[in-house]
């Protein structure tokens, strides 16, 4: 299929076998082979020059930041180098700038995606997702006691000995689907304008929605298309997936065939939905701003694959 999208690859091997060795992790983070990836309130440290690049601090520049971190997570290894993430969200802006003079600024990764090296973007997305999870799971969900980080930051453990609940990082699965009908150049695709697109210009995208408890992914595709556009679909087939840490989703891409044509939108979800020919979608792509940005999202990847005739059908 067409070139993959952002956040699907990372710079590191996650090296899970190191996570349980607390002594090794404590020693490794102070060595020359370690690098620190700071996260501040869901923003990543990025140096913006000709092209944005991730700032990964060497051990010599990270000591004060490690002391200020509320949690440190082991991200993984690459070429004999070891990478850690640090949540410094407790710092006020002035204190943060004192600790990082000339090291770039904390930026919204989502806004810069598409302009950075994809493997660096994947690493920053990984760090951002884990830090978000830690900040939102400070207490045990069962008994309310404080929870401590464990296993290199990939678990949280309740401190109440009568409870002892272990919590793992959460990812919310969501399906995103390109629905089509017809054949060849006469084939049309169902695209919609989500109400969340208001203020972002005229933009159409594939339909999407979260998977509900007790529901298969294929059933979620069928339900979401029916709910949002009142279209019946069949032949639901998986195409690919994309981590989407905004804040904690995994987008699972599908293709599906429509067995009905008349659209009736769910107005609290969509502003509009229409069947578009390939010629119309190509024109939309040329105009810019009408479709999701190329190379960023699985939505555009599904659309481009459809335009290029790439399909599992």
Mean pLDDT value across residues 148-165: 98
Both ends of the chain: CA-CA distance in Å? 13
Domain spans, the chain: 16-136, 139-169, 172-307
**pLDDT beyond 50 at 313:** no
Residue 312 has pLDDT above 60, yes or no: no
- Residue 208 to residue 195: CA distance in whole angstroms: 13
Q: Which CATH class is domain 172-307?
A: alpha beta
Which run of H or E residues covers position 72? strand 71-78
Percentages (nearest 5) of helix, strand, coil residues in the chain? 30, 30, 40
Q: How confident is the model at residue 1 (pLDDT cuts 50, 70, 90)?
A: very low
Output the CA–CA distances (angstroms, integers) from residue 300 to 8, 160, 172, in the order listed: 14, 47, 21
Q: What is the pLDDT of residues 40-59, one digit of tens each?
A: 999 999 998 888 999 999 99
**Which pTM was predicted?**
0.90
The CATH number of the domain covering residues in 16-136:
3.90.79
**CATH topology of 16-136 equal to that of 172-307?**
yes
> What pLDDT, in 10s, does the model give residues 216-244?
999 999 999 999 999 999 999 999 999 99
Question: How confident is the model over 6-25, as pLDDT tens digits?
Answer: 888 788 999 999 999 999 99
Number of other CB atoms surrounding residue 123 within 10 Å? 26
């Amino acid at each position: 299929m067409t070139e993959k999208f952002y956040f699907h690859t990372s710079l590191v091997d996650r090296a899970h076998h190191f996570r349980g060795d607390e002594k090794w992790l404590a020693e490794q983070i102070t060595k020359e082979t370690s690098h620190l990836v700071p996260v501040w309130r869901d923003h990543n440290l990025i140096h913006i020059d000709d092209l944005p690049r991730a700032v990964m601090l060497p051990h010599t520049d990270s000591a004060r930041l490690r002391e200020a971190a509320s949690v440190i997570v082991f991200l993984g290894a690459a070429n004999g180098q070891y990478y850690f993430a640090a949540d410094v969200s407790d710092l006020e802006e002035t204190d943060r700038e004192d600790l990082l003079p000339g090291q770039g600024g904390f930026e919204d990764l989502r806004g810069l995606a598409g302009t950075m090296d994809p493997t660096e973007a994947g690493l920053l997305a990984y760090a951002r997702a884990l830090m978000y999870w830690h900040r939102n799971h400070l207490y045990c969900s069962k008994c309310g006691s404080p929870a401590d980080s464990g296993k290199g930051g990939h678990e949280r453990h309740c401190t109440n000995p009568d409870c002892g609940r272990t919590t793992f990082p959460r990812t919310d699965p969501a399906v995103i689907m390109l629905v089509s009908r017809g054949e060849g150049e006469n084939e049309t695709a169902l695209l919609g304008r989500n109400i969340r697109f208001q203020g972002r210009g005229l933009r159409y995208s594939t339909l999407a929605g979260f998977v509900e408890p007790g529901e298969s992914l294929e059933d979620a595709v069928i339900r979401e298309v029916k709910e949002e556009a009142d279209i019946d679909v069949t032949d639901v087939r998986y195409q690919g997936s994309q981590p989407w840490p905004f804040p904690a989703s995994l987008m699972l891409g599908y293709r599906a065939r429509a067995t009905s044509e008349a659209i009736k939108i769910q107005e609290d979800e969509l502003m509009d939905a229409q069947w578009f020919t390939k010629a119309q979608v190509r024109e939309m792509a040329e105009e810019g701003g009408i479709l999701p940005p190329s190379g960023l999202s699985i939505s555009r990847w599904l659309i481009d694959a459809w335009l290029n005739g790439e399909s599992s059908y």
